[in-house]
Structure 1
């Protein structure tokens, strides 16, 4: 106890051991040694006319123990989470010495422990797990670059037939498609009647539509990308015949 008391000079808690300071305070954690030093300082400088009771000391110890347990639990939780992120796509937040914030994204190759702290390996570099900003679902990444169709209502008049066109995107990267199969109602249009320009304009030849009855149809588009992206409720086709009266249609 004498050594502990000697660690307090002029009301200021002095460092007793440089190594101890690094391990106990360098990572902003409080341990039993820190509590004993604080307790010794409190006992030395307490009001002799109104000293702390044993009950108060016990209460302080209990509170300090709870704090230490919470810190340990938080550290364990962070480390466990870090190892669970291996193989996941993440975004890490980093701050340089100038206080500038930047973000690094990539897949976690492995997790490692250094001096009790967890680090994640991303793109060949290690980042503290505490810098984790976002975890990205694999399915979400897969959905990026998928083909899509612009909402369009087509109208085909059998009396004056013309080709029908609407805008599509064939997607990009690994999700890119090269062609699309068209189904109108229950009828699948032959590939020879379907073309897609470089600008993404999909055209259905009028010859493929001449035998459709007057009415409204849903147009289904199935792309040949790896996910076989299917669009069902974006394009409609209304077939009319201006040579007939409504009753004849």
Structure 2
């Protein structure tokens, strides 16, 4: 299998690329700086790199990128700087998701392509009745107005849930929702839930980036796991050390 990874130069994206390569998959990474990316992940005979801003690519170029791939994984996010949060493009994740999905549909592969989107527990899936308290709704409403990347992530998830939906013949998807992202040196025990089990605002948990990368790679490599979560928005939490010892 060959996987196109966007957002590959980010903290989670780099880990995902390494995990996919370690599992024997081929990877095409679209990054702004090939040199910095390769310094971080190293050269590999199953790794191809395209240096570009993904939204600067034409639709024909995107179709060429996905043409040899059976899956797409997006770890795209906004840089944590004033320009990254409030500058253009405001809809980086949502627009990239839409255009890549359209490219995947256009190539008309024999089998449905897989699309995995890294998102956030702050983006609730109201299509399955996920509810939040009034105080949390108020805070999220303010975040939606004041922090544009949050709305961008919401729109990206909504596009897959509502526009692509469950019955598309050419495309299947999973939206992966980690809680508060933290760094860790190695994969640890983690648990997957269909919906958040705690408040993303008032009682957030922790999810290591390397665990997110491991789960995303597992989705693409393990068909039974994919079938479990296809068309759903699973939430990833680290298992606390005490809980892991008890288990």
The TM-score with structure 2 as length reference comes to: 0.18
Q: By percentage of residues, which structure has more strand?
A: 1
The TM-score with structure 1 as length reference comes to: 0.18
Q: By percentage of residues, which structure has more helix?
A: 2
